[in-house]
């Protein structure tokens, strides 16, 4: 949904905001030119980082006229009134760009390890053996077998429950 919010309106100043403009400097420039051509508009500032449109105009020019101009220029579906909540997107993105890049890097590293070992070992096995070795080294050097912190125990209990009860959770009989 393409929406436009009326952030505030004063007799000679109106601020609007729309996500349509975010990260799109070319569209921001076209909209600024369109608004600058409206009779009564003195100054226009369109910010691609925030999607904000600030218009300083004659007192005779109404916010509704500006909204109509922006709505036509950007093919806006819905206009929000001051104080009205912005609509949430229907679905949040599956993963952030950092998560996708990290997953890709780990996947590539795993593929390189499997290729180098001719399929005998993978990144998960190396991580498991590394953690096991670090734990064993700690026990050997300190001579003590410490109790894990409560949050580790809670996580392991939850994870064990989820794995054991996966069929019931997934709705299988």
Residues 11 and 68 in one domain: yes
| Domain assignment of residue 101, given as a range | 94-145
Helices 63-74 and 25-36 meet at what angle, rounded to 10? 140
Q: What is the pLDDT along the chain (173 residues), one digit of tens a residue?
A: 799 999 989 999 999 999 999 989 999 999 999 999 999 999 999 999 999 999 999 999 999 999 999 999 999 999 997 778 888 777 766 777 888 899 899 999 999 999 999 999 999 999 999 999 999 999 999 999 988 899 999 999 999 998 888 877 777 66
Residues 73 and 16 in one domain: yes
Q: What is the CATH number of the domain that holds 11?
A: 3.30.70.100
Asked whether residue 39 is domain-assigned, the answer is: yes
Phi, psi of 53 (to 5 degrees): -125, 115
Residues 57 and 11 in one domain: yes
Asked whether residue 152 is domain-assigned, the answer is: no
Residues 9 and 65 in one domain: yes
Asked whether residue 170 is domain-assigned, the answer is: no
84: number of Cβ within 10 Å? 12
Cα–Cα distance for residue pair 14/53, rounded to 1 Å: 8
Residues 65 and 17 in one domain: yes
Asked whether residue 153 is domain-assigned, the answer is: no
Asked whether residue 155 is domain-assigned, the answer is: no
Residues 101 and 52 in one domain: no
Tokens of residue 114, six digits: 């499997």
CB 51 within 8 A of CB 103: no
Helices and strands, number each (H, E), in the chain: 6, 5
Residues 21 and 48 in one domain: yes
Radius of gyration of the chain (CA): 29
Closest by alpha carbon to 55, among 35, 25, 81, 82?
Answer: 35
What is the arrangement of strands in the sheet containing 3-10, beginning at the earlier edge strand?
41-47, 52-57, 13-17, 3-10, 78-80
Q: Which of 80, 102, 130 represents a domain boundary (last residue)?
A: 80
Give the chain's domain count: 2
């Amino acid at each position: 949904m393409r929406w436009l919010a009326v952030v505030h309106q004063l007799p000679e100043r109106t601020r609007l905001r729309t996500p349509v403009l975010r990260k799109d400097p070319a569209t921001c420039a076209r909209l600024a030119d369109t608004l600058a051509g409206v009779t009564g508009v003195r100054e226009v500032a369109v910010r691609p980082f925030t999607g904000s449109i600030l218009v300083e105009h004659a007192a005779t020019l109404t916010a509704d006229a500006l909204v109509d101009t922006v709505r036509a220029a950007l093919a806006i579906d819905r206009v929000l009134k001051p104080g009205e909540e912005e609509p949430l997107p229907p679905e949040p993105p599956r993963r952030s760009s950092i998560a996708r890049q990290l997953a890709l890097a780990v996947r590539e590293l795993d593929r390189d390890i499997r290729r180098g070992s001719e399929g005998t070992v993978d990144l998960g096995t190396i991580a498991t053996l590394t953690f096991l070795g670090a734990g064993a080294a700690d026990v050997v050097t300190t001579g003590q077998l410490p109790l894990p912190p409560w949050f580790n125990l809670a996580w392991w209990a939850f994870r064990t429950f989820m794995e054991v009860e996966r069929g019931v959770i997934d709705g299988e009989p």
